[in-house]
Amino acid sequence: MLVDYRVQQREYLLDISRALTAELNLDDLLQMVLSAATKMLVGQAGLIALRSLDGNFVIGASYGLPKPLVPYFQPLLADIPTDVERTHFAIPGLAEKLGQIVARLGLRLQQVVALPMAIGRNLIGVLYIFRAYGSRFTADDRQILASFADQAAIAVHNAQLYERISREKHRLDAILEYTADGVLILDAAYRVVVFNRALVGLIGWPAAEALGQSHDDVIPWAHLQTEMDMASAVRGGWPLPSARPLYVEGDLRRYHGGTVSVGITYAPLFDVEGHLVNVIGNVRDITRFREADEIKSTFVSVVSHELKTPVALIKGYADTLMREDARWDPDVMRDSLSVILEEADRLNSLIDNLLDASRLQASALPLEMDEVALDALAERVASRFRTQTERHEIVVTIPYELPIVVGDEGRIEQVLNNLISNAIKYSPEGGRIEVSGRGTPTDVIITVSDQGVGIPLEEQTRVFERFFRGTRERHQRTSGAGLGLYLAKAIVEAHNGRIWVESDVGAGSAFSFSIPRKSSHR
């Protein structure tokens, strides 16, 4: 009978230690350890105290005890010797403490044995087994439990490490998932293993679909700015020393069509033997930088072109007039000087426009508000332009009854100036230019229409952009910096109004702007 029991115990020990090493869930593992140990020693209940990172002991699992009573056993965890000396391991006054606890709770537990769960001298926890009746725990019992506790200690330690690592992994996954930059992680075969939320937003591939795809399918370049993409760079192995990332920039084709400008920094991850394990790609949306770059270079080319023409004319005429070997009759003199004056004016207004545009970037446009009668203002501007052109008939048909508005007269004049000078500039064959006005219940709307070249539909929304010049204008020889409508729009919007265009190529254009009307009528 006794032999049977021993053999059974040993087999049980083997089975259970196999099972223990396979279990990585800490709670399940502790339950398994406890129930096995309790059964092995023919006990009725058990506890496991675990040592936490701060060195204190907490009850990690219980067996055979009603859950609400478990905290009452906490006193058994006091005075655990942490310097593990297996043969002498003893918790002082353990039996008495148990006696007090069970007396209070009305439980029938009489015997207790406690053994350290340790790896070498590193104490991980303590295993307590209780008996409600029967004989005291013997030296044999302790020995069986000791070898089991050793096995259990290793399994528990592994499960704890595993738990810590998976918690860490979850944290990293969350960081990767929610970081504002796009993150792409590839395996050694350049297949996608991580594709985060920001990247989904950036290039449109659904994450579930991107996973497992090859890098080149998910990152298709429409246009490359840098010398090579990753595919050609890594042909025949990672091209750079491990510390050096690879930077690729260009326009990516998005999943649902269209492109997006991105810069990708690829960093390789090698194992100890120097084999490539992962490539981590950090994907940045650089649309803004690109736009800023483009604006800067357009600015330089527009400004240099626009400044050069008048300067060359002024210089040419001044040179001629200065010649000592010639005498100019007064008519030629006056004509030349008027060209110089005109060109100087043109320079002046270009400089004003540039200053306005740069001020606009820094802050909103300051306005000096007053009551403005638009009919009189339009008539004044129109009559100034009439002296400059013979081909165009400029008429103002704003009814006198049009309500006055509150606005900055100088700025509204600037808008009219820009619209009328464009109407002249972009109707080279001449024609009628009409400045009309009407009131709606909320706004006053002024329209400047011409019979000129018109604007193709695809350019109609772009004409209000900074430095935008129509394709034809860029190739033909009208001058302009592409700032007039940009400034007009800014001025109108500063008045809480809107500006828009209707146009047919070959038939003409009509630019309108609205200004909210003042409540009073005249």
> Given the rule CB under 6 A, which residues bind ligand ADP?
418, 422-423, 426, 450, 452-455, 463, 468-470, 473, 480-486, 509
Least distance between ligand ADP and beta carbon 297 (Å) = 17
Q: Which is nearer to ligand ADP, 160 or 418 (CB)?
A: 418
Least distance between ligand ADP and beta carbon 350 (Å) = 9
Q: Which 8-state DSSP code applies to residue 366?
A: P
Go through 380-419 and write b for each residue having 16 or more CB atoms within 10 A of its CB, e for each that does not.
ebbeebeeeeeebebebebeeebbbbbbbbebbbbbbbbb
Q: Whole-angstrom Cα distance, residue 275 to residue 392?
A: 76
Q: Which is nearer to ligand ADP, 183 or 455 (CB)?
A: 455
Least distance between ligand ADP and beta carbon 410 (Å) = 18
The sign of the CA dihedral 268, 272, 276, 278 is negative
Both structure tokens of 4: 């049977």
Q: Which is nearer to ligand ADP, 334 or 384 (CB)?
A: 384
Least distance between ligand ADP and beta carbon 496 (Å) = 21
Least distance between ligand ADP and beta carbon 436 (Å) = 15
Least distance between ligand ADP and beta carbon 325 (Å) = 40
Least distance between ligand ADP and beta carbon 443 (Å) = 22
For residue 192, how many C-alpha atoms fall within 13 Å in the half-sphere facing its CB? 22
User: Which candidate, 158, 151, 154, 160, places its Cα nearest to that of 40?
Assistant: 151
* Angle in degrees, 0-180, between the axes of helices 374-386 and 409-425, rounded to the nearest 10: 40
Q: Whole-angstrom Cα distance, residue 353 to residue 481?
A: 9
Q: Which is nearer to ligand ADP, 35 or 478 (CB)?
A: 478
Q: Whole-angstrom Cα distance, residue 379 to residue 416?
A: 10
Q: Whole-angstrom Cα distance, residue 337 to residue 319?
A: 12
* Contact indicator for 372, 498 with CB cutoff of 8 Å: no
The secondary structure of 296-315, three-state, reads: HHHHHHHHHHHHHHHHHHHH
Least distance between ligand ADP and beta carbon 230 (Å) = 40
* Contact indicator for 212, 195 with CB cutoff of 8 Å: no
- How many other β-carbons are positioned within 10 Å of the β-carbon of residue 489? 21
Q: Which is nearer to ligand ADP, 46 or 470 (CB)?
A: 470
